[in-house]
């Protein structure tokens, strides 16, 4: 037992070779900027409900929630009951909305942990009402209406009847909130404004039947940053909280700081002879003698295989290309330019995958573009699979 404990301590003491730096001061800055953005639109009088699902987009849900809580945050939005329960276990008392329409058998768990469910089917409503009845307790719920996402949510045509049935049949359910989601806010303003008008009409129709909600929301990061409406009183940004922009044009409206940086240490350096192939499939062949460095990050860490022969890494403040296929645990970087300038890197030196080094930087958006995806996927994939260092 003692030797096992000692081995465990030795393993824990090893420094990671690849890691994510999470800048909590940048997070604080972004939170303040988003609050200013919301206050500029007076309709957002209920405040901001930051989205911290998917382990806060790979940044670490509990440390992020702690910073936001210290900054006066009164709401959190997560995906499922497990995430909500983790926040409760960590001691957070804020209102927590579950975005997913959960299974009826989860109703007791949801209520026990004081989570607010999204309801868009009557089976879940019925079970939640039964739990409320047994406890003699009102259960707050939010209704999701599908106005164009084509995913979760009661249809526009059925929304009024659905809510009326809940109001009439399930006396232990409190209609606290109603919301929808924008699928094209960054690409089709006409469609998004049409969504907003139709959703407004649904909410007004309910008010005509004396059905009102404390919270009406639809504004994700793009919605908060680029769409104003007197209807929505609660904003729910996610991406911008982490210093990333859903649209480049928003940089003129709000100044954000990236929260996540990805760093690695060089584990091997050698020279490949002209004509020799590199990595699986030899998709890269050296056109001349080439000095390469190996970094311990690969697709098992969320660094996507699609970045093969596409991406760059910062070493000594210079951009060095990733050559050959990304492998499970390693990538290969051409550092010949550094060798020519007598700055050949050595084992143990730091390389930057995402972030700043000297006067150069590689942004998450750049990496996403090289990979043919979006910044959401990059931070969620890499950040959630690496050890994180929290800086403040």
Task: Categorize the per-residue pLDDT at 12 as very low, low, confident or very high, splitting at 50, 70 and 90.
Answer: low
Buried-exposed string 147-163: b where 16+ CB fall within 10 A, e elsewhere: bbeeeebbebeebbebb
Specify the CATH number for the domain of residue 45: 3.20.20.10
Statement to judge: residues 296 and 338 lie in one domain: yes
Statement to judge: residues 323 and 224 lie in one domain: no
Statement to judge: residues 221 and 175 lie in one domain: yes
Statement to judge: residues 147 and 294 lie in one domain: no
323: closest CA among 315, 337, 312? 312
Q: What is the pLDDT of residue 343?
A: 78
Statement to judge: residues 112 and 140 lie in one domain: yes
Residue 110 lies in a domain: yes
Task: Evaluate whether 375 touches 244 at the Cβ level (below 8 Å).
Answer: yes
Statement to judge: residues 316 and 192 lie in one domain: no
Residue 170 lies in a domain: yes
Q: How many angstroms separate the CA atoms of 46 and 48, rounded?
A: 7
Is pLDDT at 3 greater than 60 in this prediction?
no
Statement to judge: residues 182 and 316 lie in one domain: no
Q: How many angstroms separate the CA atoms of 127 and 354, rounded?
A: 46
Statement to judge: residues 314 and 330 lie in one domain: yes
Residue 16 lies in a domain: no
Q: What is the pLDDT of residue 8?
A: 58
Q: What is the pLDDT of residue 353?
A: 98
Is pLDDT at 2 greater than 80 in this prediction?
no
Q: What is the pLDDT of residue 105?
A: 96
Catalytic residue positions? 53, 280
Statement to judge: residues 198 and 50 lie in one domain: yes
Helices marked H in 79-237 — which ranges?
81-89, 107-112, 122-135, 156-169, 189-208, 221-226
Task: Categorize the per-residue pLDDT at 45 as very low, low, confident or very high, splitting at 50, 70 and 90.
Answer: confident
Helices marked H in 227-374 — which ranges?
336-340, 364-371
Is pLDDT at 41 greater than 80 in this prediction?
no
Lowest mean pLDDT among 9-23, 147-161, 266-280, 351-365: 9-23
Number of folded domains in the chain?
2
- Name the domain boundary from 235, 252, 269: 252
Q: What is the pLDDT of residue 222?
A: 85
Statement to judge: residues 77 and 33 lie in one domain: yes
Percent of the chain topping pLDDT 70: 96
Statement to judge: residues 74 and 181 lie in one domain: yes
- Name the domain boundary from 200, 229, 252: 252
Inter-helix orientation angle 61-70/24-40, to 10°: 50
Residue 17 lies in a domain: no
Statement to judge: residues 33 and 164 lie in one domain: yes
Q: What is the pLDDT of residue 5?
A: 63
CA distances from 365 to 75, 271, 305, 347, 371 (A): 28, 31, 17, 28, 10
- Name the domain boundary from 223, 252, 281: 252
Task: Evaluate whether 143 touches 155 at the Cβ level (below 8 Å).
Answer: no
Residue 206 lies in a domain: yes
Residue 267 lies in a domain: yes
Is pLDDT at 53 greater than 60 in this prediction?
yes
Specify the CATH number for the domain of residue 367: 2.40.37.10
Task: Categorize the per-residue pLDDT at 227 as very low, low, confident or very high, splitting at 50, 70 and 90.
Answer: confident
Domain limits at 374? 260-391
Q: What is the pLDDT of residues 164-202, one digit of tens each?
A: 999 999 999 999 999 999 989 888 999 999 999 999 999
């Amino acid at each position: 037992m003692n030797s096992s404990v000692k081995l465990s301590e030795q393993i824990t003491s090893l420094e990671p070779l690849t890691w994510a730096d999470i800048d909590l001061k940048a997070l604080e800055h972004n939170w303040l900027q988003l609050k200013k953005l919301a206050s500029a639109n007076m309709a957002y009088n209920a405040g901001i409900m930051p989205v911290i699902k998917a382990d806060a987009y790979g940044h670490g849900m509990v440390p992020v929630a702690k910073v936001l809580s210290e900054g006066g945050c009164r709401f959190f939005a997560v995906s499922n009951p497990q995430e909500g329960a983790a926040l409760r276990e960590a001691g957070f008392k804020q209102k927590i909305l579950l975005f997913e329409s959960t299974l009826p058998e989860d109703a007791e768990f949801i209520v026990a942990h004081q989570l607010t469910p999204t309801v868009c089917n009557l089976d879940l409503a019925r079970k939640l009402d039964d739990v409320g009845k047994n406890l003699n307790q009102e259960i707050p719920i939010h209704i999701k209406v599908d106005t164009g996402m084509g995913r979760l949510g009661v249809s526009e045509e059925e929304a009024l009847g659905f809510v009326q049935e809940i109001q009439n049949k399930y006396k232990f359910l409190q209609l606290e909130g109603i919301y929808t989601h924008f699928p094209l806010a960054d690409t089709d303003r006409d469609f998004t404004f049409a969504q907003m008008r139709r959703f407004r009409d649904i909410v007004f129709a309910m008010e005509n039947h004396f059905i009102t909600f404390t919270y009406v929301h639809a504004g994700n990061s793009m919605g908060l940053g680029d769409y104003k409406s007197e209807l929505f009183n609660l904003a729910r940004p996610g991406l911008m909280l982490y210093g990333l922009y859903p649209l480049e044009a928003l940089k003129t409206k709000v100044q954000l700081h990236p929260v996540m940086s990805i760093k690695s240490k060089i584990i091997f350096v050698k020279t490949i002879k002209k004509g020799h192939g590199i990595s699986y499939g030899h998709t890269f062949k050296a056109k001349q003698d080439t000095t390469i460095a190996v970094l311990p990050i690969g697709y098992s860490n969320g660094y996507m295989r699609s970045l093969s022969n596409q991406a760059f890494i910062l070493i000594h403040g210079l951009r060095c290309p990733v050559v050959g296929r990304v492998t499970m645990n390693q990538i290969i970087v051409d550092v010949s330019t550094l060798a020519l300038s007598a700055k050949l890197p050595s084992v143990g030196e730091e390389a930057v995958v995402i972030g700043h080094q000297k006067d150069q930087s590689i942004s998450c958006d750049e990496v996403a573009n090289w990979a043919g995806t979006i910044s959401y996927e990059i931070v969620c994939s890499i950040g959630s699979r690496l050890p994180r260092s929290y800086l403040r």
